[in-house]
Amino acid sequence: MKRLFILAASIFVLATSLYAQSASIGAQEGSDSYADRTTQDITLEDKYAELHPKARTVNLSISYTPLTGEVRFYYTCMAASFDQGEAMNTAMAVFEDFAEENRYKHYTYRAKDKTKYFKDGRDVRMATYESYVLFTR
């Protein structure tokens, strides 16, 4: 009886150690896809200047998560020349171009758009417009 118990226990230990090795090998193979889970910060060139004629110097950037299709759009300029309508039109144009480049068909807004005012390092009042969308195929 003891021999049978020892034999069963040793088979169990052997089987669990083999499973643990195969699971760790699978985890190493899947580690290459980690880059897909990270958020990519992309600074856009301002080819949308006709959509915001009041603001001359505008910083456009997006944060893109490929795994989920989430995109956050940031429009930053001086507060004196900021117009929310122009920022919204620019965001819509960026989303349309982004969808075309990455083969997405639709996008939906995940949160209400936000506008924030702040002072930069030179004590210049700046404005940031943020839009958060989810792209679907």
SS (H, E, C) the chain: CHHHHHHHHHHHHHHHHHHHHHHHHHHHHHHHHHHHHCCEEEEECCCCHHHCCCCCCCEEEEEEECCCCEEEEEEEEEHHHCCHHHHHHHHHHHHHHHHHHCCCCEEEECCCCEEEEEECCCCCEEEEEEEEEEEEC
pLDDT reported for residue 93: 92
Tokens found for residue 92: 């819509």
Confidence of residue 116 (pLDDT cuts 50, 70, 90): very high
pLDDT reported for residue 24: 46
d(CA 92, CA 120): 26
Confidence of residue 50 (pLDDT cuts 50, 70, 90): confident
The residue among 80 and 36 whose pLDDT is bigger is 80
d(CA 97, CA 62): 12
Confidence of residue 9 (pLDDT cuts 50, 70, 90): low
Confidence of residue 23 (pLDDT cuts 50, 70, 90): very low
The residue among 9 and 34 whose pLDDT is bigger is 9
Given a cut of 80, whether residue 3 has pLDDT beyond it is no
Lowest-confidence segment of 5-9, 50-54, 63-67, 84-88 by average pLDDT: 5-9
**Is the CB of residue 84 less than 8 Å from the CB of residue 92?**
no
Confidence of residue 132 (pLDDT cuts 50, 70, 90): very high
**Is the CB of residue 88 less than 8 Å from the CB of residue 112?**
no
d(CA 33, CA 58): 34
In the block, tokens 């990519």 appear at 40
pLDDT reported for residue 15: 65
